Amino acid sequence: MLEKPLVSIIVPCYKQAHFLSETLHSVLDQTYDNWECIIVNDGSPDNTEEVATKWCEKDNRFKYLKKTNGGLSSARNAGITISSGALILPLDSDDILNSNYLRRLVPELIHDDALAIVSCYREFFRDKKENIFYQEKASGSTYHHLMYENIMMPSSLFRKKCWEEVGGYDEEMKFGFEDWEFWISITKRGWKYKFVEEFLFYYRKSKNSMLIDTLKNHVENNIEYVFKKHKEIYIEHYDMTLFYFIFLIKRHRSSEMKIKNSLEYKIAKIIAKPIRFLKSIF
């Protein structure tokens, strides 16, 4: 691989135009300069096109693609399809890169042919990048560490040929966890991944984010989908998979008991008794 390969940064945008400039500014600030940035307007009803056009005029490394709304996987695939880089970085339109992100991560892929993906530590912030409220570190190198939890952030750097190998992001997954499934698809083929032990990525915590909706409404369905799609690895590790599901059942039961034993729950039961009585006689 070339010593300084082209990196294609794919930025899908849907109803996030108000954050987009801050995200693209962090791309422009990269100390590694051999990149292109493809802004994918996924049928967004806001002024995404106006913001994107201004950035394309500012620097010709920014490119713009408009498509009908198809979800995050579809938008990423569309951007990667027209990309020219050997390395791909998916970047959500409300997150921020450290200026040294590419300079630190690209060499890891250049110098190790066994690596498919390189990630890093990340910090979570609210409103402004300086408002850090949580730091996340992760470790691992094979699919075994990914089977039951997505320890790798969506904005990890990977080889385009791996995307080609697995047929891209799964566009059936419209309610989150598509990056987790994508990492499993790649690594179960024998590819490795690595974490650079530095905080080089800033994840915006938003009340109305897709992740919040996923955690509230789609977790179980997404897990079921991933387990069925990659059932061969879960069958191979049957004992660990069984242990995982028993753990989930116990955790759910424990959480349920805490709620039932809480003072608020007992008060609510007392208040509800007359209502239930009235309903029974009318």
What amino acid is encoded at 29 in this protein?
D
Radius of gyration of the chain (CA): 22
- CATH number of the domain residue 147 falls in: 3.90.550.10
Does residue 12 sit in the same domain as residue 79? yes
Asked if residue 108 belongs to a domain, the reply is yes
**All residues at 6 or more sequence positions from 88 whose CB lies less than 8 Å from its CB, including other chains:** 7, 8, 10, 80, 157, 158, 159, 160, 163
Does residue 189 sit in the same domain as residue 252? no
Q: Which domain holds residue 252?
A: 238-281
Residue linked to tokens 């569309």? 78
Identify the band that residue 258 occupies on the pLDDT scale cut at 50, 70 and 90: low
Q: Which pLDDT does position 246 carry in this prediction?
A: 83
| SS3 assignment, position 195 | strand
Tally of domains within the chain: 2
Q: Is 189 or 278 the better-scoring residue by pLDDT?
A: 189
Does residue 112 sit in the same domain as residue 243? no
pLDDT digits (tens, 9 = 90+) for 113-129: 999 999 999 999 998 99
Identify the band that residue 262 occupies on the pLDDT scale cut at 50, 70 and 90: low
Asked if residue 233 belongs to a domain, the reply is no
Does residue 91 sit in the same domain as residue 138? yes
Q: What's the CA angle centered on 109, arms 108 and 115, to 5 degrees? A: 105
Q: Which pLDDT does position 214 carry in this prediction?
A: 58
User: In terms of Cα–Cα distance, which of 201, 52, 69, 194 is closest to 122?
Assistant: 201
Does residue 259 sit in the same domain as residue 188? no
Residue 278 has pLDDT above 60, yes or no: no
Asked if residue 100 belongs to a domain, the reply is yes
Identify the band that residue 250 occupies on the pLDDT scale cut at 50, 70 and 90: confident
Does residue 187 sit in the same domain as residue 255? no
CA pair distance 243, 237, nearest whole angstrom: 10
Does residue 157 sit in the same domain as residue 269? no
Residue 144 has pLDDT above 70, yes or no: yes
Asked if residue 227 belongs to a domain, the reply is no
Tokens representing 152 are: 């790798």
Instruction: For residue 100, give the DSSP letter.
Output: T
Does residue 113 sit in the same domain as residue 212? yes
Q: Which pLDDT does position 15 carry in this prediction?
A: 94
Does residue 273 sit in the same domain as residue 203? no
pLDDT digits (tens, 9 = 90+) for 183-234: 999 999 999 999 999 999 999 987 555 555 555 667 889 999 999 999 999 9
Asked if residue 171 belongs to a domain, the reply is yes
Residue 265 has pLDDT above 50, yes or no: no
Asked if residue 226 belongs to a domain, the reply is no
Asked if residue 211 belongs to a domain, the reply is yes
> Percent of the chain beyond pLDDT 70?
85
pLDDT digits (tens, 9 = 90+) for 150-190: 999 999 999 999 999 999 999 999 988 999 999 999 999 99
Element (H, E) at 271: helix 263-281
Does residue 76 sit in the same domain as residue 202? yes
Q: Is 30 or 244 the better-scoring residue by pLDDT?
A: 30
Q: Which pLDDT does position 125 carry in this prediction?
A: 96
Asked if residue 90 belongs to a domain, the reply is yes
What amino acid is encoded at 218 in this protein?
H
